[in-house]
Structure 1
Amino acid sequence: MEEQKAPSALGVVHYHHMDALRGAFMMVGVFVHTATLGDDPIFDGIAYSSSLFRMEGFFLISGFLSAMLVGKYGSGRTIRRRFAAVGTPLLITLVLLNPPALWLIYNFHNDPDISLLDYVRGNTIPSPAGELSWYLHLWFLISLLVYALCAPAAVSLLSRLTSASPYQWATANRIRCMTTITLFVLVTTIVIRGGHRAVVEPVVGTGTHAVLLKHTLDFLPYFLLGVLLYLDRQRLLPSFQRPAPIFLAVTGLALLASKQEWVGALSVGTGLVMTETIFTIPLLATIFAASARLVSRPRPAWRYLADASYTVYLFHFLWIYIFATVLSLDPSLSTPYMLLITVLTFCVTLAIHHFIILRSKFLRMVLNGKFPSKDRRDARGSTAPDPVTAGNAGVDLEQTQPIFRSGKVAVPDVERTQHLNWTS
């Protein structure tokens, strides 16, 4: 096994690049959801490009964090912390922000306009146009709650995997590591999607609830990969977050062949899923490598944006359609108008975060999931509030606790790790 690189001055291993990535992934969501206003080749291209890596990377980081929390706090406490940090902002946003957002979306894409009260009462036309699922962009928070319940079992099972001799052989060098990672994601994707299609889909049927369940199952392989990367972070993580230009080019050509329908078997069904999956792995590896190089130490601007990104994400769908309505736009709008709405949405949501939420402990708690915890200690040993949040990947110097393997307690980790709070 390769030795871990020497820790920094207090034995602290920081993952600042994951903090920055989480914020960037969430910020890109503003562009993706602005694309729902109409058909625009540039914004549609952004949305498609995002679908190849953004949520996959987000859930990978979330799995990494979840494994860290299970090791530090145990199963029960981890689940309680995650449900408080994620569930509270989810509930508040579902109740207060989503209904008016859905009403504005309905009126923007359908004619005639109706009042908010009529919309809430269900006095709408059959099969209305627009993104009108009750959870809108918050589906990923619901998925995170499901993953939180699965995290202890995932840590237990994958801990056994990392100690197995075949796994040790399969991850002995970079090529084997990337092959193992790719096969791990491919196999779990095929098994989960196949099981969903054969067993779950006939039972749950169709509708928004079925789409929510499908999203949760579709991204589970990346959450599990994040757990695996944390459990084998001394070997697997360094191998993963390195540039993979050849792998990326080859899989990119396969994806191009799939999208252009040059190879029929790769353009539909399982072939399309596999082609996109094998492209996503080296793409994520390259993105993580670039971010690790660019954000190797704390940077105030990245920290602020990462902290603000959760507020932006919660509020942005509502403000996108507020601006579209105020400007009297329609679904035929062009790129400049979409870009204008994107910029305005960033300005307003960042202002809400800076001037309103940051100035209120209550709002930070219910909208950013920042619940105080008596057990956090800073680097000097003094007690301080614990920023384990749904929207902030803040610095936390608590020691990583032993991971349980095969019923035995592993030797305590000498590294002290930075919390990637909440991620996703």
Structure 2
Amino acid sequence: MPQVLAPARWHYLDALRASLMLLGVPYHAGLFFRGESSGLDAVVSFSTHFRMPAFFFIAGVFAVLLLERRGVTTWWSGRVRRLGIPLIFAVAVLSPIQTLILKDGDWKALSIKTYHAWFLLYLLIYCAILALAWRVARVRSLAKTAGAWATRGPGQYLVTIAVLSVGTVVISTAWFVLRIDERSGGLLGLGLPSQFAEFLIGVLVAAAPGTLDRLSTWARLPVAVIAIIGSCILLTDATSIVLPGVVAGAANFAIAGVTGMAWAAILLLLFRAGFDRASITVRWVVDASLTVYLVHNVLIYAFGPVVASWDLHAVASSVALTLLALLGSLIAYELANSFRLGRLLTTGHTKRGASASALLTRKPSTAPDEQPERHQA
């Protein structure tokens, strides 16, 4: 029987998840100046190799840890609230504002769009699938067995990723043939099946007690080599040189899956080494991250033309736009965090988060109830 210790915060998981969300700000700022600098384009492209794969991996980890702590019904109702309310707010309020900015105030252009909040819809779907599956004892047992094997060493981890990546290519091909993306109005894109694999790997890693700790202890070099090689292949589009178009596309899809999960493991190791302790600054960043992510893209498109008019180099323009959007988004978080309805709309709960004043007073903030317990074998 596994020993369940007293509740403890997984500070490094918190910090990693928040950091991946905040990296969306420079990513979208870079996209605004896409094509103006090959170096900037390469950096933006490279960030796609790890940012969202690692994010969905962490989401799968948290999903299982919280499921085991709370039970399916309580956990699922919490997911509906914490993901669904911000998603509705983004689609009903933020997306129309962004559309009006993009379309120069043309009200006729308004339609239902998720824009950068698509990940909330995907997570709701993944969590619904997991909630149904986790009620079956056989599924839980298989997940724990698979997770224990996958984290036994770098080889097993990479084999697990490769198998799931091949399966993802097959499902995504069917997705494309059936035109699900088109028929859903873009709401259910090709990313839905591909990023479910990343979410599933996180589920497997967290399913058996002790497996998450084990992932942070085995040899780093093989996984780092795979991550670097995969990124080099994707950045240079090397597969198109030796493979025909459709096959090259499928190969890139599979390589992207393996590369993303290799980087996720590396980031997990790095953040565990550097952020596995309480920090007021990290707590503030964690609490602000979702609001910042929801708001920042509207500010990117609002400030983007202004920054572009400064006639700076693309890299300098991207940095300036990142800082403006980040500052504006943090101000939006502080405003939303100051009243109950603002907190509900942007985070899905009404509990007050850490504020910037905590950084000045060094007063510890109250930890929210979204943290799982730490399990050890």
Structure 1 length normalisation: TM-score? 0.73
Partner of 1:357: 336
Query: Among 2, 22, 25, which residue is 2:20 paired with?
Result: 25
Q: Secondary structure at the match of 2:23?
A: helix
Partner of 2:276: 296
Query: Bigger relative contact order, structure 1 or 2, given CA contacts below 8 A and separation 6+?
Result: 2
Partner of 2:31: 36
1:16 aligned onto 2:3: no
Per-residue CA deviation, residues 192-232 of structure 1 (Å, 9 max, x unaligned), is 3244245x43xx36277346332222200111111111212
Distance in structure 2 (CA, Å) of the matches to 1:237 and 1:188: 27
Partner of 2:109: 122
**Is the 8 Å Cα contact of residues 8 and 373 (structure 2) preserved in structure 1?**
no
**Is the 8 Å Cα contact of residues 143 and 216 (structure 1) preserved in structure 2?**
yes
Distance in structure 1 (CA, Å) of the matches to 2:331 and 2:50: 28
Q: Secondary structure at the match of 1:293?
A: helix
1:310 aligned onto 2:290: yes
Structure 2 CA distance for partners of 1:149 and 1:397, relative to 1, 3 Å: closer
1:94 aligned onto 2:91: yes
Distance in structure 2 (CA, Å) of the matches to 1:228 and 1:173: 12
Partner of 1:160: 141
**Is the 8 Å Cα contact of residues 35 and 338 (structure 1) preserved in structure 2?**
yes
Per-residue CA deviation, residues 137-175 of structure 1 (Å, 9 max, x unaligned), is 0111111111121112343464221455xx588458324
Q: Secondary structure at the match of 1:318?
A: helix
Q: State the AA in 2 paired with 1:160.
A: S
Q: In structure 1, list runs of 5 or more residues that go unmatched.
A: 108-115, 124-131, 373-386, 388-392, 401-412, 416-424
Task: State the Cα distance separating 1:283 from its structure 2 match.
Answer: 1.4
Partner of 1:265: 243
Per-residue CA deviation, residues 334-358 of structure 1 (Å, 9 max, x unaligned), is 222221111111111112222x122
**Is the 8 Å Cα contact of residues 64 and 203 (structure 2) preserved in structure 1?**
yes
1:284 aligned onto 2:264: yes
Structure 2 CA distance for partners of 1:337 and 1:254, relative to 1, 3 Å: closer
Structure having the higher helix fraction is 2
Distance in structure 1 (CA, Å) of the matches to 2:244 and 2:222: 20
Q: State the AA in 2 paired with 1:214.
A: L
Matches within 5 A, 1:203-222: 204=180, 206=182, 209-210=185-186, 212-222=188-198
* Cα RMSD for the two superposed structures: 3.4
Distance in structure 1 (CA, Å) of the matches to 2:275 and 2:131: 30
Structure 2 CA distance for partners of 1:169 and 1:88, relative to 1, 3 Å: closer
Structure 2 length normalisation: TM-score? 0.81
Percent identity between matched residues is 20
Structure 2 CA distance for partners of 1:54 and 1:64, relative to 1, 3 Å: same
Distance in structure 1 (CA, Å) of the matches to 2:149 and 2:288: 40
Per-residue CA deviation, residues 346-376 of structure 1 (Å, 9 max, x unaligned), is 111112222x12211221112121246xxxx
The structure whose Rg is larger is: 1
